[in-house]
Structure 1
Amino acid sequence: MIRAAKPGDLQSIYEMAKLTGGGFTNLPPDKRALRAKLERAEASFASEKEYPSDELYLMVLEDLDSGEVRGTCQIFGQVGQRWPFYSYRIGTDSKHSEQLGRTFHAQVLMLSNDLNGASEVGGLFLHPAARAGGLGLLLARSRYLFIARHRARFADRILAELRGVIDEAGGSPFWDGVAGKFFGMSFQEADQFNAVHGNQFIADLMPKHPVYIAMLPETARAVIGVPHPTGRAAMRMLENEGFAFENYIDIFDGGPTMTARTDQVASIRDAKHVEVTGIAEDGEDALIATGRLADFRCCFGKVDAEGRIDADAARILNVGKGDAISWIGR
């Protein structure tokens, strides 16, 4: 079952954070930072704001048999409120020479705040021991059902950052070829600092002029817009939901930033909102969600056209006849 994270989940989330392998800004292996995230999430779930704002909704995947937390995911109501949201946008600088009779097109990286104000889905991590049975799909798509059930709290544009390529030593070829030249720190140091303290230091130190891609080392050029090998499945899931790569990349590791119109995300657009009418075991395979804010819960189950759900899902979600649910076909 997917549910809202609680302060008591700190140790479980910390143990998972230590398994990410670096470059996972939304899930740093730092207890103080994670405790702050849980406190922020608790306040966000309790907030009465019905408009996009700087809220963080942190959810976990709980194994109901063992009680263990086996995954986590996050939704940000609106990025760029506490501090600017930076991306590199890949653009083109065109120049023409009359004397040579030639036009040159050079790709450039431009520091951008274009995505300020968007909502964000991120922080998705599944424990290695639980990577079977479609649990990653449950984690990922539960976020969209949460958004569908609380639509007023989210912006009209939504983004997802995918981790970029990290080498075996935990370094980033993109960082080493671009930003590392200006910060005097390793990728790991910068990534950890960003996760704990925010990214204002980027605004302070990052040069504002465009960076010509052709002048970067091949190791950096080769990973621009390329997801970490473990993120390829996540990228396909995002594309299936309607997200697209629109030439925005992460300024730390060069990973792709995927964007979509919130109302056109498939699991938001196609979500059905009904009342439970009874129990039936022969419905359509689905993700089913219920509850508001801190009471939100989501699980796999079966739903039929009359609004009947299977007994296991009814028990897990603690719903009965007349209770409101949202669901999307699996």
Structure 2
Amino acid sequence: MLVIRPIEQRDFPTLKQIAIESGHGFTSLPVNDEILQNKIDHSIASFAGRAAGKGECLYFFVAEDSDTGDVVGTTALEADLGLSSPFYTYLLGKQVHCSPKLGIYNVVETLTLTNDYTGSTELCTLFLREQARKGLNGRLLSKCRFMFLAEFSELFDNRVMAEMRGVSDEQGKSPFWSWLQEHFFSMDFPTVDYLTGIGQKGFIADLMPKYPIYVNLLSKEARAVIGKTHDKTRPALRLLEEEGFSWRGYVDIFDAGPSVECDLRQIRTVRHGRHLKVRIGDVADAGKHLISNTRFDDFRALIGDVAVNEEKAQAVMTEEVARLLKVEDGDTVRLVEM
């Protein structure tokens, strides 16, 4: 059974291996020891000193196999984007060129560089290792974040977003970046992807075009991938769409992958979650549920069999499930039916 828990120092070797496996375009996990260690340190500090409200906190989780102890996935929440380091996106918009005298009316699409997501909360660093891509594991890894958001909503922004990896090939070549590289830069996509991942973003402000880009001036290949998602990222996008996330025209500045968003209070798992008291006992009439404890620094979540006693407002679970969640009889858990 997979259990979600906060990342720990002992997870560094596995985190580095996951960074290698994630490949090009997975900006939030660069293959850089110092950056990966900083992420672990940042998360540990965020969990150790609970903020009074929203702050520049990183809540980094791993999925651990309870049978083997192996870490098989990562997922994270960035509470407050773009305060210490600018967070850039392109916004796909429209420009009208009209001349009534000549009877001409043209609408053209534009890409405008923005910092519109500054202060928003980001869902990030979702990666499930290949050997664990089965059953409900992907759903657990994605949806566990919403249980944490719901339980500690005061620590997050009401606008929750997620960047979806855009289109690139096995060598890391992005059709969208290829056009930008030709006209504005002299770096390939893997290089800019890596520099962004390690926080060296100064070149963006220095070299990015300052004015809106007319989409019809881009290459055919670049236009075709605007708002499109990498094949390996489509399952993650579908899970977010099930939760109510939608694309509102924002795309990544390097690969043009879509950024999707949702109001925190409208996320399905947040809306449907409820608190119940734990009772350890017979689960003969159990159904699959997403369950989390209500602890902050010792958060746990999993998908398990639970029988709900509506009259007593109880979640009836086995000793194993209770042990993995670190709860006992009478404790409170958050529950969502799968």
With normalisation by structure 2, the TM-score equals 0.94
Which aligned pairs between 1:82-161 and structure 2 lie closer than 5 A? 82-161=84-163
Of the candidates 306, 310, 317, which is equivalent to residue 317 of structure 2? Answer: 310
Match of 1:243 in 2: 245
Q: 1:159 offset after TM fit, Å? A: 0.1
Q: 1:179 offset after TM fit, Å? A: 5.4
Q: 1:302 offset after TM fit, Å? A: 2.7
Match of 1:273 in 2: 275
Of the candidates 251, 254, 268, which is equivalent to residue 252 of structure 1? Answer: 254
Match of 1:283 in 2: 286
Runs of 4+ residues over 4 Å off in structure 1: none
Aligned AA (1:201):
F
Range with greater deviation from structure 2 (97-106 or 139-148) = 97-106
Q: 1:319 offset after TM fit, Å? A: 1.2
Of the candidates 188, 197, 204, which is equivalent to residue 195 of structure 1? Answer: 197
> Match of 2:76, SS?
strand
Aligned AA (1:309):
V
Q: 1:47 offset after TM fit, Å? A: 2.2
Range with greater deviation from structure 2 (199-208 or 34-43) = 199-208
Range with greater deviation from structure 2 (170-179 or 111-120) = 170-179
Aligned AA (1:285):
K
Please give the alpha-carbon distance, in whole angstroms, between the structure 2 residues aligned to 1:200 and 1:242.
Answer: 34
Which aligned pairs between 1:29-44 and structure 2 lie closer than 5 A? 29-44=31-46
Q: 1:14 offset after TM fit, Å? A: 0.7
Is the contact between residue 179 and residue 252 of structure 1 (CA under 8 Å) also seen in structure 2?
Answer: no
> Match of 2:21, SS?
coil
Deviations 1:98-139 (A, max 9, x none): 232021000000001111111011110000011001101100
Matched, 1:207 2:215: no
Please give the alpha-carbon distance, in whole angstroms, between the structure 1 residues aligned to 2:230 and 2:315.
Answer: 41
Please give the alpha-carbon distance, in whole angstroms, between the structure 2 residues aligned to 1:156 and 1:291.
Answer: 20
Q: Identify if the C-alpha distance between structure 1 residues 200 and 269 changes in structure 2 by more than 3 Å, giving closer, same or farther.
A: farther
Q: 1:308 offset after TM fit, Å? A: 2.6
Of the candidates 289, 295, 299, which is equivalent to residue 296 of structure 1? Answer: 299
Q: 1:198 offset after TM fit, Å? A: 4.2
Please give the alpha-carbon distance, in whole angstroms, between the structure 1 residues aligned to 2:286 and 2:260.
Answer: 33
Please give the alpha-carbon distance, in whole angstroms, between the structure 2 residues aligned to 1:119 and 1:96.
Answer: 39
Please give the alpha-carbon distance, in whole angstroms, between the structure 2 residues aligned to 1:42 and 1:209.
Answer: 40
Range with greater deviation from structure 2 (228-237 or 305-314) = 305-314
Please give the alpha-carbon distance, in whole angstroms, between the structure 2 residues aligned to 1:213 and 1:42.
Answer: 43
Please give the alpha-carbon distance, in whole angstroms, between the structure 2 residues aligned to 1:111 and 1:179.
Answer: 16
Please give the alpha-carbon distance, in whole angstroms, between the structure 1 residues aligned to 2:16 and 2:36.
Answer: 7
Which aligned pairs between 1:56-95 and structure 2 lie closer than 5 A? 56-95=58-97
Please give the alpha-carbon distance, in whole angstroms, between the structure 2 residues aligned to 1:289 and 1:280.
Answer: 19
Please give the alpha-carbon distance, in whole angstroms, between the structure 2 residues aligned to 1:260 and 1:179.
Answer: 32
> Match of 1:220, SS?
helix
Is the contact between residue 83 and residue 198 of structure 1 (CA under 8 Å) also seen in structure 2?
Answer: no
Match of 2:327 in 1: 319
Range with greater deviation from structure 2 (193-202 or 169-178) = 193-202
Q: 1:17 offset after TM fit, Å? A: 1.1
Please give the alpha-carbon distance, in whole angstroms, between the structure 1 residues aligned to 2:282 and 2:193.
Answer: 49
Q: 1:204 offset after TM fit, Å? A: 2.6
> Match of 1:293, SS?
coil
Please give the alpha-carbon distance, in whole angstroms, between the structure 1 residues aligned to 2:201 and 2:77.
Answer: 18
Q: 1:87 offset after TM fit, Å? A: 0.5
Please give the alpha-carbon distance, in whole angstroms, between the structure 2 residues aligned to 1:47 and 1:204.
Answer: 36
Gaps of 5+ in 2: none
Is the contact between residue 181 and residue 188 of structure 2 (CA under 8 Å) also seen in structure 1?
Answer: no
> Match of 2:157, SS?
coil
Q: 1:313 offset after TM fit, Å? A: 1.3
Of the candidates 182, 185, 189, which is equivalent to residue 184 of structure 2? Answer: 182
Deviations 1:246-265 (A, max 9, x none): 00000011000001101101
Q: 1:180 offset after TM fit, Å? A: 5.9
Range with greater deviation from structure 2 (286-295 or 264-273) = 286-295
Is the contact between residue 278 and residue 307 of structure 1 (CA under 8 Å) also seen in structure 2?
Answer: no
Please give the alpha-carbon distance, in whole angstroms, between the structure 2 residues aligned to 1:320 and 1:84.
Answer: 44
Please give the alpha-carbon distance, in whole angstroms, between the structure 1 residues aligned to 2:181 and 2:94.
Answer: 20
Please give the alpha-carbon distance, in whole angstroms, between the structure 1 residues aligned to 2:182 and 2:153.
Answer: 39
Please give the alpha-carbon distance, in whole angstroms, between the structure 2 residues aligned to 1:96 and 1:326.
Answer: 56
> Match of 1:18, SS?
helix
Aligned AA (1:328):
V
